[in-house]
Each structure stands twice: as C-alpha cells, then as structure tokens.
Chain A
Amino acid sequence: MGRFFAGLRDGVGFDILLVTVAMIFLVAMAGLPLIYNVLMSFQQVDMFTLGSFIRPFAGIQNYIDVVRAPEFWLVTRNTVIFVFFSMAGQFVLGFALALFFAQNFPGASTIRGLFLVSWVMPGLVVGAIWSWILAGDFGVLNTILRNLGIIQSTVFWKSDPAFSIWAVVIANIWLGLAFNMLLLSVGLAAIPRDLYEAAELDGANAFQRFWTITLPMMRSTIGAVLSLGLIGTLQQFDLFPAITEGGPANTSTVAQYWSWQMSFQLYDFAKGATISVMMLVLVLFASIIYVRSTRHEVRG
C-alpha cells in the first residue's frame, strides 16, 4: 500500500492539491448533503429548526410515520408499477430496436442516431408533449384509438385513477428508449461476427443464435442497462409535474415525487428525507448489481 502511494507522489505537493480539489468538491456537493439528508431522517424538523444542524433526535419515528401514512402502500404500488413497467418497456423495446438497427440496411446508423433526439429533450418538455398526446378530450392518442375502433368512448388517461400511472409510464418508456437502445447497440456491436457464423454452421437458427450467443454475450451489458435503468427510473421526476402532478388522489404519485411533495409542498422535511433515504437503499442495491455485472465481463 505504501509503495502504491509512493508511485503516485510527485514530491512537490501538486498531486495533493489536485486530489484535494476533487475531494473538496465531492464532499461539499455530494457527501455533506447525503449525510445531512440521512441525519435529517432521524430528527424532528420544522420550519424553526430548518437552519440548524443539531435537532431533537426522533429515532425511527419518521420511518414509522412514513410507513403508517395512508398513501404509503398506494405510493409503493405506484412506484413498483412505474419502475417495473418503465424498465421492462424501455428494455424490451430498446433491445428490439438495437437488434433491428444491428442489421445492415441502408441508413441504419443514421436513423439510429435520430432516435437520440428523445434523449436530448428535457423531461419537462417531453412531459408537456405527452400531456397533449394523452389529453382526454383533444388528445391524439384517443383520436387514433377511436378511429381504429379500439375504444368507443374517450379514455381520460391523466385523470382516470385506473390509467394515470400508466400515462406516465408510457411517456417514460419513450423517454428512456433511446438510452437503452444505444447501450444495447454497443453491446451487440462488441460480439464478434464469426461467433454467429460458427453458430450458424453448427446448426443454430436465428432464434437459437439469439438465446445461446447474443443473450449470454450481452450479460454484462444487460446488467449495466438494467441497473442504470433502475436508477434513472427512480430519478424520473420531470414527467410527474408535467403530466399528472401525482393525481388524481395520489394514484400516480411515486416515491420520488412524494418525497418532493413532503419537503417542498408540505414543508415536512423530515419525512421527505426519510422517503429519499429509503430510495437510496434501493439505488445502492442496484449499484452493487451494476458493479458486479461489469466485473463479470465474459470476452474471448
């Protein structure tokens, strides 16, 4: 260990300066807020103690209050639906598109590039556009479905409790599709062509080649995409204020939006912090999976 550090030293202290700047930035911008947030979840916080660091200790009372809150299970259910179906939609459609664009047809890479447009658009703008598309009375989606004869009466995507969470899921799938497709495309491109040729000569049809070559070779990429997808979905905030504002009656409120509502609308900062700490544990879990999956690289 001593030799390791000795190898990094330059002897005049410039190295220490560089490391210090990075560390100060990391501690100030990420470390302290994180600790502050975790600390707050174990304290009684109100508008009068907002500015102080040491506050009355609350034990796990905040956690008990959050779990006992009447909307807790509804929000949990919504979060599970939102995370699972957003990720599933993004991943399956993204994989399908990645496979499609991996075929060599004229313009394949150009069109794939155009898909990135959805990625550069701000979430709020995407939310606003989908809000119009999904609008009950004048929305494009309803018009199309009605003309195709799939629905008879108007579906109020954003204000029907049965559909409100799905409205955000649909918008989020669209938003995350390009990212999934891009990462999976890179993974596909890294699989040597001759493996497919060898498998083809060994007698594998297209479906068997996908199952026995593509999927196992994509293991680490898929692990990365899924864990980044989980983090991205738990982070997704912009779409909620733009489309449903969590309503009606919390039927489309998810954990991250609930946490924001607690802190910045109800000014119950302790509960807001508590919810975010609970989410942090989930994200940590995803990060561990991500790190492990990239460690298990299987390449010739």
Chain B
Amino acid sequence: MTAQIELSHIQKHYGSFHALKDVSLRIEKGSFVALVGPSGCGKSTLLRSIAGLETISSGELSIAGKTMTGVPPRHRDIAMVFQSYALYPHMTVEENLTYSLRLHGVGKAEAKAKAAEVAQTTGLSQLLPRYPRQLSGGQRQRVAMGRAIIRNPKAFLFDEPLSNLDAALRVQMRKEIRALHDRLGATSVYVTHDQIEAMTMADWVVVMRDGIIEQQGRPLDLYDHPVNRFVAGFIGSPAMNFVEAQIAEDGTTLVLKTGERIALPRQVEPNRAVTAGMRPENLTIANGPPSFHFTIGNIESTGSATYLTSDDGALQLVQSERANRAVGDRVGVSIDPAQIHLFDPQSGKRI
C-alpha cells in the first residue's frame, strides 16, 4: 500500500489557540478514513488543511508523493463535499457538475457527456436542468457528490456531509457514499462527529480531541481496545459504563464500591484504584450466579432492544429480549470478565 495523503507533525495556531498539536497521519491509497471527535477537536481544521483552505503553521503535508505546503487548493487536485453542499445557486445542476471541467477548458460536448455519466451514477439524470433551490436536501447532497466525482480527483474530502439530512436518508446515504467510494477506488477522508457514521463507513478511524489524535485504527480495534477512557466512551452506542472500583491484594479481583467482587482473567497491579469500563451490550441479566447487582431506575424499549438504567443513572444495560422486569426491581447482572476494560482513574489510560 502506498500513502495517498501523508501528514507529519502538523501544527496549526489561530492566534493563541492551538488547533492542531503535532498531528501525524498516513492515509493509504484507496482507503476510507474517518476523522471523528467532538466539536472543536480539530477534525474540520485538519480536513481543511489537507484541502489547502487553511494554511498549516508548521509540519509537512504531501498528497500522492508531492509536498503540498504552500500549494493553493486549485492545484492540489482534491475534491471536497461541504456540510452546506456549497452548490452554486445561480447554476443548474448540469452547470454545477461541469463547472470544474469548464474551468479546465474541457469542450462543451465532452463536459455534457461526462455530466450525463455522473448524473447516471448519482441518480440525477432527471434533474440536470434544475437549479439547486428546486432540489430536496438529499438531491443537493447528490449534486455535491457528483461535482466531486466528475473531476476524478486524487482524494475526496467530506466535511460532515450528512448532518443536514434526516435520519432515514442519512442511513441510506451512508451506504451510497461507501458504495461509490468502492466503485471509484477512491481515497476518501470523512469528517464526522457521529461515531456510528465513522464506524460503519470507514476502514480506518481517527479519533481526535483538543487538536491531538487520541487513537487511530480499524473500527473494531477501536471498539475492542480503546487506548483511553475518552475513546472508550466516544466509540460505541450507547456509551460505555464507567464505574470506580478497586483491585484487591491478589491483583486478579475487581472490587466494586458495593463490595461485590469480580474475578479478572489477568494479573494487574494490586491494591490500586481503577475505572472499570463495561459496554451496555456486554452486560446481561444473569441466569446463573451474577457478577454484581443493580436496581432498575428506568426501562426504555425500542421493540428490538431494551435499555435498562440503574436507579443512580450510573449503569446502562442493553438486551435484545423484552424485559419482564419493573422499575425498582433488583437484578443480578453478569459480564464476561474479559470484556471489562480497566483505565487509570487519573490519566484515563488503559491498564
């Protein structure tokens, strides 16, 4: 695999604000990389730096082997899909699609043919003579995609492209974007604050916070082995439960605040405080001897899943069976000890 986009030691300052702190990232050719994190984490700044819309304060950025520092966006051969779509309101769909071709001096007939072809792939064939204001949100989204595809660029950048769509359409467009990426053999960088989008679409997920990369890896690796409490809480829905606990003298027993003890499958440093992370979907209502107990404070059912929340709000459990329980019941819960994540209470690092 060769790197299509390579970032090394990127720094970005806005006045006194340090937006990107020594970010290094390698994006393989043909891969779909998601940048994910809460707002203000620097993911959009990073994307806009790749596009050249932001200048980086220091560091090295190369696209397809060429150093791009100081190269204006129009010479980077990169296409971007904006959150607002940024369609040209005074141009028809066809003119929007062919804008870049016309700028590069492609002939009228050839541009028209290319637009028809792209419209075919994105399902816009009937809409070519319309203006953006005459289109629905989903159709505008497709035009924005088509405008990116038509140029056959070195990479596609997506800046939260689905956040203006309703939930059902978002799920559908998620699949379409991924399918399009595979068909074109493109390299895509996708910014989102929605970890589900990142998990379902990307081959490689980069979790950012406060201008640094907290963790990067394959989606399921992030889910299975989060390196710190932040990533553990950010990836996965509903979010991971965190409980404060203690390791016993033997180093293989987790002692909960309630005094309940869970045997761990591995040896850790004895007599220390830990934060134990347990995913709601890994907790089950015990048939045999339970790991620990909690009192149900709230029951929510979506039909396919039931969410049980403890009365102190600290724990949540998801089960696929309907709950034959009531609020106020005390239930025994079991968890495979191998699925318990341990974090340092101070640094948040994985133990």
Contacts and interface: CB of A to CB of B under 8 A. Distances in A.
Interface in B105-164: 132-133, 147, 151
A149 to B, nearest CB: 41
A138 to B, nearest CB: 51
Given A203-B74, A208-B103, A298 B82 contact: no
Nearest to A194: B86
B79 interface: yes
B104 interface: yes
B239 to A, nearest CB: 32
B89 A300 contact: yes
A197 interface: yes
A33 interface: no
Contact of B84 (A192, A204, A208, A213): A192
B150 to A, nearest CB: 10
A281 to B, nearest CB: 32
B62 interface: no
B116 to A, nearest CB: 19
B63 to A, nearest CB: 13
A93 to B, nearest CB: 25
Nearest to B100: A202
B100 A203 contact: yes
Contacts of B84: 192, 194
A300 B100 contact: no
Interface in B55-110: 72-74, 76, 78-80, 82, 84, 86-90, 99-100, 103-104
A103 interface: no
Interface residues of A, number: 21
A202 B72 CA distance: 11
A204 B99 CA distance: 9
Nearest to B78: A201
Contacts, number: 65
A34 interface: no
Contacts of B100: 202-203
Contacts of B80: 197-198, 201
A212 B53 contact: no
B86 A192 contact: yes
B74 A194 contact: no
B86 A197 contact: yes
B82 to A, nearest CB: 5
A300 B74 contact: no
A interface: dominant SS: helix
Given A192-B84, A300-B132, A202 B99 contact: yes
A287 B313 CA distance: 67
A198 B86 contact: yes
Interface in A251-269: none
B51 interface: yes
Interface in A145-161: none
A198 to B, nearest CB: 4
Contact of A201 (B73, B132, B133): B73
The residue among A192, A197, A216, A219 with the most chain B CB atoms within 10 A of its own CB is A197
The residue among A201, A205, A298 with the most chain B CB atoms within 10 A of its own CB is A201
Nearest to A217: B90
A39 B242 CA distance: 89
B243 to A, nearest CB: 44
A300 B132 CA distance: 7
B138 to A, nearest CB: 16
A3 interface: no
Nearest to A219: B90
Contacts of B78: 201
Contact of B89 (A200, A203, A208, A217): A217
Interface string B12-28: 00000000000000000
A298 B132 CA distance: 10
Contact of B151 (A202, A204, A212): A202
Given A198-B80, A201-B74, 17 more contacts: A194-B82, A194-B84, A195-B86, A195-B88, A197-B51, A198-B88, A200-B73, A201-B73, A201-B76, A201-B79, A202-B99, A204-B99, A212-B88, A217-B89, A217-B90, A219-B90, A299-B89
Nearest 3 Cβ contacts at the A-B interface: A202-B100, A198-B86, A194-B86
13 contacts: A192-B86, A194-B84, A200-B74, A201-B51, A201-B74, A202-B100, A203-B103, A204-B74, A204-B99, A204-B103, A212-B103, A217-B89, A299-B89
